[in-house]
Amino acid sequence: MKDDLLSAVVEVEKELATILENEKTKCREQLDKLRGDSEREISEEKRRLQEALNKAITESGTIAEKKASAMMEKADLTVARLEGISDDALKGIIRKYIGRILP
């Protein structure tokens, strides 16, 4: 009877060891799956952020080009307007402000 009880305890311990090992294996598999899922999510997020960055850079470049173009048009208009001022008008402007320039 003692041997039967001892055999039963040993058998239960073996079953528990097997169950424990199976659970460890399941946990490792789940951990590996979660690790893989996380790496895929990180990779996808990195790709999405890179695309957003590239789009923002392109849009910023387009906006800067439009602003520069508008500034150049304004400068061209100012140049054209100033080139149209007659010498007599320039002389009048100089006479008006020469007193402030020279002591």
H or E segment at 64? helix 2-83
| Cβ atoms within 10 Å, residue 63 | 10
Does residue 103 register a pLDDT over 70? no
With tokens 């520069």, the residue in question is 68
pTM given for the model: 0.56
User: What's the pLDDT score for residue 100?
Assistant: 84
CA distance 79 to 70: 14
Is the pLDDT reported for residue 8 higher than 80? yes
Rounded to the nearest integer, the mean pLDDT of the chain is 93
At CA 61, angle to CA 57 and CA 63, rounded to 5?
115
**What pLDDT, in 10s, does the model give residues 37-85?**
999 999 999 999 999 999 999 999 999 999 999 999 999 999 999 898 9
